[in-house]
Amino acid sequence: MAAVVAVLAIAAAVLVWPHAKDPGPVVPPFLPVFSTWVTLTEALTALLLWTQYAVSGRLLFAALSGAYSFTSVVAAIQLLVFPGVFSPTGLLGAGPQTAVWIWVFWHGGFPALVTASLFARSVPASLTHRTLARVVAVGAVAVAVGLCILATAGQSHLPPLVAKSGSYTQLSDSPAGIIVEALCLAALGLHVSTTRVRSLMDLWLAVALVGALIDVTLTLSAGARYSVGWYAARVASMVSSSAVLGMLIYETTGLYRRLSETHRKLVETSARDGLTGVFNRAYFDDRFAREFSLASVSKQPLCVLLLDVDHFKQYNDTYGHMAGDDCLKKVAGALSGTLRRQGDFVARYGGEEFVVVLPSCEPAAGLRVAQSLRAAVEKLAIRSASPTGAPVTVSVGMASTFQDPLESAPALLGLADTALYRAKARGRNRVVEAMDIAERQSVSDSEVPIVSVIKP
């Protein structure tokens, strides 16, 4: 991207060069727009660079922040003193030479300060004192203000660069113009040779220096305000002032994106059970309460399954706790691998118990999922502690809000727990569904268990 911007800027400058002296349309609002753009972009760049210094402690960023602060201040003051913007002769006691001399200080000062920042690269963060960084940044602003005072109050001591007609062809042949051009060219060369443009900062700072060099070159060749070269130079200056800012915004956006992703992963990791890798009890308690509330408001069914590994204590006593842990890992993997819908999730409820939540799932579909989960664990063929060599199995209790509007999530979970208890009491390795309120009421008088049994 940096290469594309630099090549396009250079190509545009080459195309404009033969027509630089051609008069262009006089658009008085262009200058305020240009100066405001440069002032704001340079100020924002300075702020972000200072933030980089505050985080890293590197003097380099403080020095670059000072360079961009310098340009922001000078651009703002030049707008105030420019003739014909706020007054015919400019504010702050400006004279006919003030604006052009501020331009000289601006376009000579920025590359000089960027070159000076090269010396700050070798200063390690551990040796950078905050007071020194503040002196560097504030000093650049002080230099900007001082030079602008010289261009206004001390204008009589400066040689004229602008004729009464508004032409500044004298600038092109004057020592001031030559020095500014040389500073821009030297700053670009030293920056590239010293940094080897290894980082994004170095790369886009080089683009900014290319834009500054094009600005100076076209301005000197244009020779007059509102010419084609003068307009093109202002556009190049806007590109120069925006290059590093665009990179910093891009990096900041990427940083926030990476932080968000890292935070999501951390939250997900903290919500995972350390042994089995499925969600933990804390995550289940929070998520299940939210799913229950959503189901209640939307009138959508919600199924919850409680699963218990059959005879797990006996398995631990026979094969040891390490084998028991490995068994739980395999069971959890089978349960997770069986779920297909994005909203469904499995969590470790405690010990050898797992819980599965199925949002927007009707009881019939929930029973099919429960049977699939039970079959998936049985298919693992993990040898149990039974003398018959039967595989490890699970018992499942299921409850749903579809038939039975409940007052709370714990009440729904309690129904699933009761169904699980009945599944274990009736021989294990089976799925039992809790009945709805009407059925429970009808069977309570006859003391029939409040579950319906589905055998494998």
How is 292-332 classified by DSSP, letter by letter? HHHHHHHT--EEEEEEEETTHHHHHHHH-HHHHHHHHHHHH
| 426: its two tokens | 């009736």
448 within some domain: yes
Give the model's pLDDT for residue 362. Answer: 92
Q: Is residue 91 part of a domain?
A: yes
* One domain, residues 300 and 407: yes
pLDDT digits (tens, 9 = 90+) for 163-213: 665 667 788 888 998 999 999 999 999 999 999 988 999 999 999 999 999
What number of other Cβ atoms are within 10 A of residue 63's Cβ? Answer: 25
In the predicted structure, residue 444 carries a pLDDT above the cut 90: no
Residue range 260-264: mean pLDDT, rounded: 87
Distance separating alpha carbons of residues 354 and 284, to the nearest angstrom = 10
User: In this structure, is the dihedral angle defined by the CA atoms of residues 322, 323, 328 and 333, taken in order, positive or negative?
Assistant: positive
**CA atoms lying within 13 Å on the CB side of residue 182:** 7
What is the CATH number for 426? Answer: 3.30.70.270
Q: What is the mean pLDDT of residues 26-55?
A: 93
Dihedral angle computed from the Cα positions of residues 422, 424, 428 and 433, in that order, rounded to the nearest 10 degrees: 30
pTM attached to this predicted model: 0.67
58 and 165 in a single domain? The answer is yes
Please check whether residues 319 and 380 belong to one and the same domain: yes
Beta bridge partners of 434: 451
Domain end marker among 208, 235, 264: 264
Quote the percentage of the chain above a pLDDT of 70: 93
Read off the pLDDT of each residue in 229-252 and give the average, rounded to a whole number: 92
Contact (Cβ atoms closer than 8 angstroms) between residue 179 and residue 107: no
Residue 272 covered by a domain: no
Kindly tell me the sign of the dihedral angle through the C-alpha atoms of 165, 166, 170, 176: positive
Q: According to the model, what pLDDT value does residue 454 have?
A: 47
Calculate mean pLDDT across residues 120-134.
78
For the stretch 333-348, what's the b/e string if a residue is b when 16 or more beta carbons lie within 10 angstroms of its beta carbon? bbbbebbeeeebbbbb
Domain housing 303: 281-454
Stretch 152-171: mean pLDDT, rounded? 78
Higher pLDDT, 346 or 388: 346
| pLDDT surpasses 60 at 382 | yes
Question: Do 241 and 304 reside in the same domain of the chain?
Answer: no
Please check whether residues 54 and 170 belong to one and the same domain: yes
Q: Is 352 labeled as catalytic in the residue annotation?
A: yes
Residues 144, 289 within the same domain: no
User: Does residue 270 belong to any structural domain of this protein?
Assistant: no
pLDDT at position 273 over 80: yes
Do 153 and 196 form a contact (C-beta atoms < 8 A)? Answer: no
Pair of tokens at residue 87:
């007054």
Q: Is residue 274 in some structural domain?
A: no
Note the pLDDT of residue 166: 60
List all residues 6 or more positions away from 355 whose beta carbon is below 8 Å from its beta carbon: 284, 288, 304, 305, 306, 307, 346, 347, 348, 349, 413, 416
Q: Is the pLDDT of residue 447 over 70?
A: no
Please state, as a whole number, how many other Cβ atoms lie within 10 Å of the Cβ of residue 143: 19
Region 300-314 average pLDDT: 94
Please report whether residue 271 resides in a domain. Answer: no
Q: How many beta carbons lie within 10 A of that of residue 4, not counting itself?
A: 9
291 in Cβ contact with 304 (< 8 Å): no
Among the listed ranges 146-155, 397-406, 444-453, which one has the minimum average pLDDT value? 444-453
Q: Is the pLDDT of residue 94 over 90?
A: no
Give yes or no: residues 96 and 227 share one domain: yes
Given a cut of 50, whether residue 437 has pLDDT beyond it is no
Sign of CA dihedral 102, 107, 109, 113: positive
Tell me what the mean pLDDT of segment 371-390 comes to: 90
With beta carbons less than 8 A apart as the criterion, state whether 359 and 343 touch.
Answer: yes
Structural domain count, the chain: 2
For 304, list phi and psi in degrees, rounded to 5: -130, 135
In angstroms, the CA 204 to CA 197 distance is 9
The pLDDT value recorded for residue 435 is 67
pLDDT at 455: 43
Which range has highest mean pLDDT (329-333, 384-388, 401-405, 439-443)? 329-333
Q: Which of 14, 1, 2, 4 is nearest to 214 (CA)?
A: 14
Residue 54 maps to which CATH number? Answer: 1.20.1070
Give the whole-angstrom CA distance, residue 129 versus residue 338: 59
Higher pLDDT, 98 or 446: 98
- Asked if 140 and 200 sit in the same domain, the reply is yes
Residue 307 maps to a domain: yes
Domain membership of residue 276 (yes or no) is no
| List 352, 353, 433, 439, catalytic entry | 352
Mean pLDDT over each residue of the chain, to the nearest integer: 89
Between CA 143 and CA 105 the distance in angstroms is 10
Mean pLDDT over 34-60 rounds to 93
Is there a single domain that holds both residue 352 and residue 240? no
Whether residue 445 is predicted with pLDDT greater than 50 in this model: the reply is: no
Q: Do 260 and 361 belong together in one domain?
A: no
Question: For position 333, what pLDDT does the model report?
Answer: 96
Listed residues 230, 264, 298: the one ending a domain: 264
In a shared domain, residues 248 and 358: no
The candidate with the shortest Cα–Cα distance to 205, out of 213, 316, 379, 177, is: 213
Per-residue confidence at 404, pLDDT binned at 50, 70, 90? low
Note whether 258 and 292 are same-domain residues.
Answer: no
Q: Name the domain boundary from 264, 294, 328.
A: 264
